[in-house]
């Protein structure tokens, strides 16, 4: 079963708008990661947020983590057509040596 | 640094044929992984190697075998390919096993007829 589940499955916005994607998970975690996958390519790591952090920024990306609700959100501000990709959250089971589990992803389309 | 490389990029097999997917990383990472990605299913872990000399089953290991040849290389073998193994296969590596950032290869698109 998937540890992380993204919402929405698909999101279409206009260039310049903000895009928000959400991830929910079931068990306690050490950290939560977000990855991007351009069509036909491998996944690329975007940002990692630890369980004791509530918010993290990287350029136009803002990630929040609410461990009480077991959820995270990824905000992309001032989106560009080049941001069109699938976005995945990845979580672990919170135990030593546990492996990452990836959700099914959100397909983001940014229209020029 | 090339990062994580995979060969081949594309492959078409007939049912029952065998093949090996190759993966190599030049980042001196200890852990390596094989995933498959199917439409609407996200990534599913097939096998992983937490460190050189060890391999373990992931979520969907049936029909596959792996070899951690050395610290750099981790291969995935399909002994008798089936149409259900049509998928995109990704290799990844990380500094250590666990909730660590993973670095992905470009993938191998496999079709089994």
Interface contact flag, A42 B4, Cβ < 8 Å: yes
Per-residue pLDDT of A3-28, as tens digits, reads 678 889 999 999 999 999 999 999 88
Interface contact flag, B40 A104, Cβ < 8 Å: yes
Output the pLDDT for position A3.
Answer: 67
Q: Is B107 on the interface with A (CB under 8 A)?
A: yes
3 state SS for chain B: CCCEEEECCEEEECCCCCEEEEEEECCCCCEEEEEEEECCCEEEEEEEECCCCCCEECCCCCCEEEEECCCCEEEEEECCCCHHHCEEEEEEEECCCCCCCCEECCCEEEEEC
A contacts of B48 (beta carbons < 8 Å): 99
CA distance A3 to chain B (A): 11
Q: Is the pLDDT of residue A1 over 60?
A: no
Mean pLDDT over B14-28 rounds to 97
Q: Is B105 on the interface with A (CB under 8 A)?
A: yes
Output the pLDDT for position B3.
Answer: 95
Please tell me which residue of chain A has the smallest CA distance to B105.
A42
Nearest CB among B50, B99, B106 relative to A31 is that of B99
């Amino acid at each position: 079963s998937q540890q992380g589940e993204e919402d929405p499955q698909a999101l279409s916005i206009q260039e310049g708008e903000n895009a928000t994607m959400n991830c929910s998970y079931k068990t306690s975690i050490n950290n939560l990661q977000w990855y991007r996958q351009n069509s036909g390519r491998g996944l690329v790591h975007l940002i990692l947020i630890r369980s004791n952090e509530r918010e993290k920024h990287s350029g136009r990306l803002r990630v929040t983590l609410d461990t009480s609700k077991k959820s995270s959100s990824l905000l992309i501000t001032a989106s560009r057509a080049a941001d069109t990709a699938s976005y995945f959250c990845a979580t672990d089971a919170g135990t030593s040596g546990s492996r990452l589990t990836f959700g099914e992803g959100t397909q983001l389309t940014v229209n020029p | 640094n090339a990062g994580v490389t995979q060969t081949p990029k594309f492959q078409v097999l007939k049912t029952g044929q065998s093949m090996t997917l190759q993966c190599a990383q030049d980042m001196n990472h200890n852990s390596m992984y094989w995933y498959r990605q199917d439409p609407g299913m996200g990534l599913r872990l097939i096998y992983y190697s937490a460190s050189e000399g060890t391999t373990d089953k992931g979520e969907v290991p049936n029909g596959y075998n792996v070899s951690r040849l050395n610290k750099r290389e981790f291969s995935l073998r399909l002994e008798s390919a089936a149409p259900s193994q049509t998928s995109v296969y990704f290799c990844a590596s990380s500094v250590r096993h666990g909730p660590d950032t993973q670095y992905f290869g470009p993938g191998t698109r496999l079709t089994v007829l």
